[in-house]
Amino acid sequence: MPAWTGSFGKSGSPSLRITIAGVFRDSRQEFDAVLDTGFTGFIAMPVIQAFPLGLILFGTTTVVLADGSTSYRLTAFCTASVGEHEEPGVVILEPVSTQVLIGMDFLKRFKKGLVVSPGLGLVALVDEAAMTERLREPPEEPGATDEPASS
Amino acid sequence: MNPNLSDPKVIAELGEKIYADRYRTEYEANYRGQFVVIDVETGKAYRGQSPEEAYAVARQDVSHGTFHLIKIGEPGAYRVSYSANARVDWVFR
C-alpha cells in the first residue's frame, strides 16, 4: 500500500515530517509534526514559529478545549506538503505551545488513514483508497496458511 | 462602539456577538455543520462547507477584512485535545 512513514519522537508521540510554507515559498520549513487525533483541524503551530514563514493572517476562531471550555486563537493560511503532495489549509496559531500538530482534517485533505503501533515502532499514513481495497479483501479461509497443522 | 481590532480577543468576541445577533437562528436551522466567517468590520457573513471554502468566499468579496471563523451549531470551530486555556490578547501588544 502506498504509505508515508512517520516515527515516534522523543515524547513517544507519533509524528510525521511535513513542510509548511506561507506567502514566500523560499521561507518554507520542515517540521516534525505530532499526529493528534483529538484535534479536528488541519495544523496547529506555535505563533512564534509561524512568523518566519510569512503566513497570511486571517483572523480569529473559537476552539473547544479538552475540558469542554472554549478559548480564542488566531488563524492563518498555509500550504502543507509531504513529498510532492501539497494541500492548502487553515493553521491555528498557538500562543504558548512548542509543538506543531497535525489533526484529523490534515488526514482528510491528504486522503490518508493512520496506522500506529508503538510495539512495532510503526507510524504509517496509508492512502485511503488502498486501505479501503485492503479491508474489502475476503478473510483467509481457515487452514489456508502455509503453516503445517499441529498434531 | 470603537473596538480595538488589534486585539484577537476583541475580534473573536465581536465576531461571536454579530453571529449570535444576526445569523445564528437562521444558520443553525439550515446550515448546521458548515463553517461561516464573520467580517467584524462590516458584519457580513460568508459560508462554506470547510473553513477554507468560507474564507475563499469571503476573500472574493472583501480583500482586507478582519474575520472570525465559526462552525455552525458548535461551540467552537475546532476541538483540541492538548491545549491550555492560554491568553491570546498579548500578541500585538
Q: Where are the domains of chain A?
A: 3-136
- In chain A, residues with a C-beta closer than 8 Å to the C-beta of B88 are 60, 71-74, 95
In a domain, B34, yes or no: yes
pTM to 2 decimals?
0.85
Q: Which residues in chain B are contacts of A41 at CB distance < 8 A?
A: 77-78, 80
Identify whether the C-beta of residue B82 lies closer than 8 Å to the C-beta of residue A40. Answer: no
Length of chain B (residues): 93
The yes-or-no verdict on residue A100 having pLDDT over 70 is yes
Tell me, yes or no, whether B24 lies in a domain.
Answer: yes
In a domain, B67, yes or no: yes
Query: What kind and span of H or E run contains B45?
Result: strand B45-48
Distances from the Cα of B71 to the Cα of A3, A41, B75, angstroms: 32, 12, 8
**B2 part of a folded domain:** no
Element (H, E) at A105: helix A104-110
Q: Where are the beta strands (DSSP E) in chain A?
A: 3-5, 7-8, 14-21, 29-35, 43-46, 56-64, 70-82, 85-94, 101-102, 112-117, 122-127
Mean pLDDT, to the nearest integer, of A106-128?
A: 92
The answer to whether the CB atoms of A59 and B80 lie below 8 A apart is no
Residue B83 has pLDDT above 80, yes or no: no
Least confident of A46-50, A66-70, B62-66, B84-88: B84-88
> At residue B22, does pLDDT exceed 90?
yes
* Number of domains chain B is built from: 1
Three-state secondary structure string covering A5-32: ECEECCCCCEEEEEEEECCCHHHCEEEE
Is residue A118 within 8 Å of residue A51, measured between CB atoms? no
Residue B72 has pLDDT above 50, yes or no: yes
Residue B86 lies in a domain: no
The C-alpha cell at A109 is 485533505
Query: What is residue B91's predicted lDDT score, i.e. its pLDDT?
Result: 53
Which domain, by its residues, includes B63? 8-71
Question: Who among A37, A65, A99 is closest to B85 (CB)?
Answer: A65
Task: Please tell me the distance from the alpha carbon of residue A132 to that of residue A49, in angstroms, as a whole number.
Answer: 36
**pLDDT above 60: residue A151:** no
| Chain A stretch 77-106, residues whose beta carbon is closer than 8 A to a beta carbon of chain B | 77, 88-90, 92, 94-97, 99, 101, 103, 105
Band (pLDDT 50/70/90 cuts) for residue B1 is: very low
Q: Is the residue at B87 inside a domain?
A: no
CATH superfamily of A3-136: Acid Proteases (2.40.70.10)
Inform me whether the pLDDT recorded for B90 exceeds 60. no
Length of chain A (residues): 151
Chain B hits for A45, CB-CB cut-off 8 Å, are none
Could you tell me if residue B3 is inside a domain?
Answer: no
Rounded CA Rg of chain B: 13
Q: What are the pLDDT digits (tens) for B25-69?
A: 999 999 999 999 999 999 999 999 999 999 999 999 988 889 999
Average pLDDT over every residue of A101-105: 96
The residue of chain B nearest to residue A39, with distances taken between CA atoms, is: B80
Q: Give the C-alpha separation, B51 to A66, whole Å.
A: 21
Quick one: average pLDDT of A82-91?
A: 94
Q: What angle do CA A6, A7, A10 make, to 5 degrees?
A: 145
Identify whether the C-beta of residue B8 lies closer than 8 Å to the C-beta of residue B66: no
Q: What's the grid cell of residue B58? A: 469571503
Does some domain include residue B81? Answer: no
User: What pLDDT score was predicted for residue A64?
Assistant: 94
Of the candidates A115, A52, A107, A46, the residue with the CA atom closest to the CA atom of residue A80: A107
Q: How many CB atoms lie within 10 A of CB B5?
A: 14
What confidence tens digit (pLDDT) does each residue in A26-50 have?
A: 889 999 999 999 999 999 999 999 9
